[in-house]
């Protein structure tokens, strides 16, 4: 008997925490716009008139993208630290952080998305150069 009310209280707490969170979502504007999320949710068959759920999905997607991007950033910084060159151009370029396909594919691989990028297309003079140094 005793644990039941406790667990039910716990559940109430969790529910209230969830509902509070959902309410607070309305104050926070996610970077991913609502219309875009609505479009893709409608495409998938998701039906819900509640705006808070859409915000939840938007926030979740933003979190996902942020995580992937931060992993890619870490890969990029690791690569820049590994490259040791004395040229000043390289040092100046090191400050610029570019989202490169290589880093992205590595970080996405951890999330189960297998992205394979073409090494090069032999259609321009700058083919086959190290992709980090090639400005696209």
Partner 1 sequence: MKDGGLENKKELENSKKQSNSSKFRSKSDDFALSIAKVAVAQVCESIGFQSFQHSALETLSDVAARYIYTLGKTANFNANLAGRLESNVFDVIQGLEELESGLGFAGASDVNRCLANSGVVRDIVHFVGDAVDVPFAYDIPRFPVVKDRKGMGSFWEKGEEPHGEHIPSWLPAFPDPETYATQSTVGNGTMSGSNGVKTGLVRVEWKVERPLLNFQQQFARNGNVGDSSCGGGDSTKAKEASNSNPYLAAPLHFGEKEVDVSPVVLPTKLSNEVASRDPIPENRFLGNQVSVLETFATAIEAMKSGICEYDGSRQKNVLYNQRPTVHFKIGIGKKSLNSAPYFISKNKDLQKIAYWFENGNEKDDRKRRAEIFSKESMECSHESVKNE
- What gap in Å lies between CA 104 and CA 128, rounded to an integer? 19
* Nearest distance from C-beta of residue 120 to partner 1, angstroms: 12
Which C-beta is closer to partner 1: that of 88 or that of 116?
A: 116
Which C-beta is closer to partner 1: that of 65 or that of 83?
A: 65
* Nearest distance from C-beta of residue 15 to partner 1, angstroms: 5
* Nearest distance from C-beta of residue 124 to partner 1, angstroms: 14
* Nearest distance from C-beta of residue 130 to partner 1, angstroms: 13
Please calculate the CA angle 132-117-76 and round it to the nearest 5 degrees.
35
For residue 73, is it left (φ>0), alpha (ψ between -120 and 50) or beta?
alpha
- What gap in Å lies between CA 55 and CA 48, rounded to an integer? 12
**Which positions touch partner 1 (CB under 8 A)?**
11, 14-15, 17-18, 21-22, 24-25, 28-29, 31-33, 35-37, 39-50, 52-53, 56-57, 59-66, 68-70, 72-73, 96-101, 103-104, 108, 110-113, 115, 117, 136
Name 131's Cβ contacts closer than 8 Å, sequence gap at least 6: 100, 101, 102
């Amino acid at each position: 008997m005793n644990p039941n009310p406790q667990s039910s209280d716990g559940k109430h707490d969790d529910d209230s925490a969830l509902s509070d969170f959902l309410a607070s979502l309305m104050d926070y504007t996610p970077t991913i716009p609502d219309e875009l999320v609505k479009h893709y949710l409608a495409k998938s068959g998701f039906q819900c008139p509640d705006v808070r759920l859409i915000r939840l999905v938007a926030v979740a997607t933003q979190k996902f993208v942020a995580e992937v991007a931060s992993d890619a950033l870490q890969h990029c910084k690791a690569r820049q630290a590994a490259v040791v060159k004395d040229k000043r151009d390289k040092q100046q370029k090191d400050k610029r952080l570019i989202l490169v396909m290589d880093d992205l594919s590595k970080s996405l691989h951890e999330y189960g998305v297998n992205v394979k990028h073409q090494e090069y297309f032999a259609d321009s003079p700058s083919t086959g150069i190290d992709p980090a140094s090639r400005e696209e």
